[in-house]
């Protein structure tokens, strides 16, 4: 399960990687397109990866590689301290 608490991030769209400011830590991160989409989908209520994928992809069904990319993005975001993972 994935979630993000605290103040909303501030996002500046840039060509090769977006700049993301985390008011909770004061850190600035540079996040590429897919992790940005994933980050914007994560909220304060814990959600499964499947739920997040549904939110990001909408009616489009993602292939295995794309799903793997979303999982990888989540891990990157956890590593950056932007998202929390938990087990329920």
Partner 1 sequence: MKSEQLTVDSGPFRVGVTSSEKVFLDTLSYFYRDVLRKDAPSVLDYEIHIQRPLNVRRWVIPQVRFEVDDMRPFEPHPAENAFPLYEWGLNWCIATSAHRYMMLHAGSVAFGDLAMVMPGTPGSGKSTLSAALHLRGARLLSDEFGLVRPEKGDLLPMPRGIPLKNASIEAILEFDPAAPLGPTYPKTRKGRVRHLRPDRESQIRQHEPAIPRWLVFPKYQAGAKETLLPLDKTEAFRQLTFNCFNYRLLGETAFRAVAQLIRQMDCYTFTFSNLERAVAKLSGLAQEPGAEQKGRA
Residue 6 binding partner 1, by CB under 8 A: no
Of the candidates 2, 3, 5, 21, which one interacts with partner 1 according to CB under 8 A? 21
Residue 23 binding partner 1, by CB under 8 A: yes
Could you give the CA distance from residue 39 to residue 32 in angstroms, rounded to a whole number?
Answer: 11
Of the candidates 6, 10, 48, 61, which one interacts with partner 1 according to CB under 8 A? 10
Could you give the CA distance from residue 21 to residue 82 in angstroms, rounded to a whole number?
Answer: 10
Residue 12 binding partner 1, by CB under 8 A: yes
Could you give the CA distance from residue 7 to residue 28 in angstroms, rounded to a whole number?
Answer: 14
């Amino acid at each position: 399960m994935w979630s993000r608490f605290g103040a909303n991030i501030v996002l500046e769209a840039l060509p090769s990687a977006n700049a993301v400011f985390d008011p909770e830590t004061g850190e600035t991160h540079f996040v590429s397109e897919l992790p940005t989409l994933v980050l914007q989908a994560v909220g304060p209520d814990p959600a499964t990866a499947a739920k997040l994928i549904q939110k990001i992809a909408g009616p489009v069904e993602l292939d295995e590689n794309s799903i793997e990319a979303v999982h990888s993005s989540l891990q990157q975001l956890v590593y950056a301290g932007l998202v929390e993972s938990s087990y329920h």
